[in-house]
Amino acid sequence: MSDERKNKSNKRSIAGALAAIYSVKRTEPWFGFVLLIVIYLVSTVFTVRTSVAEGVFEIGRAMIPKAALTGVISTISNMCLIILVVLYRDIGFCSAMGILATQVPFICVNIFILHSFTSIPGLFTNLLTMIACILIYTNQRKAIAYQQRIVEQAVTDVLTGLPNRFAGREYFSGLIKTGTKFVYVATDINNFKSINDTMGYEVGNKILIEIANRWRDLADSGRTGTYNLVAHVSGDEFGISIQEYRNEEDILKTIQAYKAELERKITIDDYDYYVTASFGYAEYPDDTTVLEDLIAKASLTLHDAKRKYSESVIVRYTDALLESEKTLKVERKIREALESDCVFFHLQPQYNINHKLRGFEALARMKDTDGSFISPMDFIPVAEETGLVDRVDMRVFHRAAKFLEDAVKKGRTDITISVNISVKHLLKNNFLEDIKSVLETYAISPSQLEIEITESVMVESVERAKAVIEEVKGLGIQVAIDDFGTGYSSLSYLHNFPANLLKIDKSFIDAMSEGKSSQKYVESIISIGHVLGLEVISEGVESEEQLEILKRIGCDLIQGYIWGRPLPPDEAEKLL
Ligand code: C2E
Ligand code: MG
Ligand code: MG
């Protein structure tokens, strides 16, 4: 840290930054100033001329002496000076008073030495304009000072005297507007609530004031080697900005300095307190270019750190953190949905190639608190990651089984209901118990049930998965290999796999329209499926063209928007 930088930092203080935020700025264009002066000068010349002019001029039938215009023109010139004071404040006032004052000696010479008594009204006008200017100017100053006091109060935190949340935001958005690189540090005092609860709010407030004073002094002293602004965001939350740092080390050193100041003993009413805090920070523009985002990311980092570490730490924001936070949010939503019975299902029809209904695939659906749907693509991976997927699977499984039971009662003993089962669930010890409980609860034949296992995940633990699937098959339930083609299935693995149905992934069906080689690929999958004794279904069939090709190359079953989208159970029932 060079001395020069230190000095620069010293000159800039939190109070200075606050003043810059609350200074009531108003800038009028300079050409207006010049224009007023020009009008003033021109009208003054005319005033002098008309005051000595002889003769008259006519308006209609009236004969008006030229000298009578003097008053009108001199009023215009004085108005120019008054407007100057109103619009240009200090500089306007000084200019107007300067102009008026310099005229006084000339007028006095005219009256008292040259005995030109026509100048007497001029002297009066001059003096009265001066008084008007002084009155306007002093009143304006009072109004501005009052205005500034109000703004100052609005941006200063009453308790600590630090810039408040609003001022902080104003300052940080100023930095963003000017493209100034800075770090935003979010922090709050650990266990502050318990201090408040046990020692009372008064002590809590005194501690906050002490912390604010220490941090203000530190920021103003320039000892951190960087330029900082500390804002009291709310309660025990503070926000610190760091500017003029060179590298990560400078940032960490700065935050360390705040941490050290905080951790020094605080004595209030003869009691000693030791407080700590964690710090989370994010950088503009590297982490984001939006202020709200920057603050949110720093706060997210702070709260994640508080959750993870028992000691107080300094943590930088990373994108991975955002991901884990998203996961956490979705996890919360899944839990809520499971609790409030908001996990339900839709049924997508599956047909044989002659458009005869084969059955339905049950697909999980979940509603957000605002009533919007969350896609299974978003919540199933999170459910798998967080161990909630078996609950989701079973919720859907039970409902699908109930649907099947109702269909069987109506005589539809020929349809199959498929449910998706996550491999994570399949590999759990209680999986078979779960399946058995469904078979025991509903009056259905296991042969009408099918479980779909995604190929790509299954290959990771193929042996164990195979053993479980054997048992499932032993119960009489059918098994489908879902999303076939997306994993690394080897022929030998397929050969040994106890499945009934191969589901070709939508991506291959989509690719078919691109060329013959993709069609050949799908054709080969179908042939292999048939050789291994499996039925083959194409997923995500959308167009007539795809359907025609699939018919030609011998696909057994079709599932896709072309013949049916996923439907709510009551609508699916109509297809029966
Ligand atoms: P999946 O098992 O491969 O299901 C087929 C997906 O393709 C469904 O998406 C379905 O709506 C969609 N689809 C079907 N036909 C078409 C079509 O013609 N065009 C297009 N664009 N899409 C079509 P969905 O419902 O969003 O489900 C996505 C995935 O989530 C499923 O893929 C499955 O892997 C998983 N999933 C759904 N429900 C469950 C469940 O209850 N448990 C588990 N473990 N996973 C589930
Ligand atoms: Mg599926
Ligand atoms: Mg699929």
What CATH code is carried by the domain that includes residue 357? 3.20.20.450
Pull the structure tokens for residue 108: 């006095």
How many Å apart are CA 391 and CA 356, to the nearest integer? 33
pLDDT at 455 over 80: no
| CA distances in angstroms from 515 to 228, 508, 511, listed in the order given | 62, 11, 7
- Residue 358 pLDDT > 90, yes or no? yes
Q: Is 260 contained in some domain?
A: yes
Q: Which ligand is nearest to the CA of 377?
A: 1
The answer on 571 and 424 residing in a single domain is yes
170 in the same domain as 289? yes
Structural domain contains residue 48:
yes
Measured in Å, residue 557 CA sits from the centre of ligand 3 at 13
User: Is there a single domain that holds both residue 471 and residue 380?
Assistant: yes
- The whole-angstrom separation of Cα 52 and Cα 46 is 10
pLDDT higher at 55 or 564: 564
Query: Separation of 508 CA from ligand 1 center, angstroms?
Result: 15
Please check whether residue 536 is in contact with residue 553, taking contact to mean a CB–CB distance below 8 angstroms: no
Per-residue confidence at 6, pLDDT binned at 50, 70, 90? very low
Residue 159 lies in a domain: no
Question: Which of 294, 317, 340 is the C-terminal boundary of a domain?
Answer: 317
Query: Which run of H or E residues covers position 12?
Result: none
What confidence tier does 9 reach under pLDDT thresholds 50, 70, 90?
A: very low
- Residue 237: the pLDDT is 95
Whether residue 343 sits in one domain with residue 259? no
Last residue of a domain, one of 101, 123, 154: 154
Same domain, 341 and 228: no
Question: In terms of domains, do 71 and 217 share one?
Answer: no
Q: Which atom of ligand 1 is nearest to the CA of 422?
A: 44
pTM over 0.75: no
Is residue 174 a part of any domain in this protein? yes
SS (H, E, C) 74-99: HHHHHHHHHHHHHHHHHHHHHHHHHH
pLDDT reported for residue 457: 60
Please give the tally of structural domains in the chain.
3
432: pLDDT strictly greater than 70: yes
Residues 143 and 229 both lie in one domain = no
Three-state DSSP class for 309? coil
Distance 542 CA to ligand 1 centre (A): 14
Residue 310: what pLDDT?
81
Q: Which atom of ligand 1 is nearest to the CA of 452?
A: 2
Which of the residue ranges 14-28, 33-47, 281-295 would you say has the lowest mean pLDDT?
Answer: 14-28
Question: What is the pLDDT of the chain when averaged over all its residues?
Answer: 90
Does a structural domain hold residue 195?
Answer: yes
Domain that holds residue 455: 331-575
Residues 417 and 339 in one domain: yes
Poorest-pLDDT segment among 397-406, 415-424, 492-501: 492-501
Residues 307, 336 share a domain: no
CA 355 to ligand 3 centroid distance, Å: 20
Q: Which residue, 331, 322, 326, 330, is CA-closest to 297?
A: 322
pLDDT-based confidence at 32, cuts 50/70/90? very high
Assigned token pair, 155: 């941006």
| Cis peptide bond prior to 163, omega within 30° of 0 | no
Residue 25 clears pLDDT 70, i.e. is over it: no
Q: Are residues 381 and 499 in the same domain?
A: yes
- Say yes or no to pLDDT of 284 above 80: yes
Confidence of residue 110 (pLDDT cuts 50, 70, 90): confident
- Residues 166-219 have pLDDT tens digits of 999 999 999 999 999 999 999 999 989 988 898 899 999 999 999 999 999 999
Report pLDDT digits (tens) over 139-171.
Answer: 999 998 888 888 888 889 999 999 999 999 999
Protein residues whose CB sits closer than 6 Å to any atom of ligand 1? 348, 363-364, 375-377, 380, 389, 392-393, 396, 420-422, 452, 454, 482-483, 539-542, 559-561, 566
Q: Is residue 496 included in any domain, yes or no?
A: yes
Q: Are 485 and 525 in contact (CB under 8 A)?
A: yes
pLDDT of residue 1: 43
- Reported as a pLDDT band with limits 50, 70 and 90, residue 8 is very low
Q: Do 354 and 301 reside in the same domain of the chain?
A: no
| Same-domain check for residues 169 and 244 | yes
Place of tokens 């499945």: 499
Tell which of 98, 127, 154 closes a domain: 154
Domain membership of residue 324 (yes or no) is no
Segment 356-362 mean pLDDT = 97
Nearest to 449 by CA among 497, 503, 407, 486: 407
Supply the CATH number for residue 278's domain: 3.30.70.270
The better pLDDT of the pair 385, 239 is held by 239
Has residue 160 been placed in a domain? Answer: no
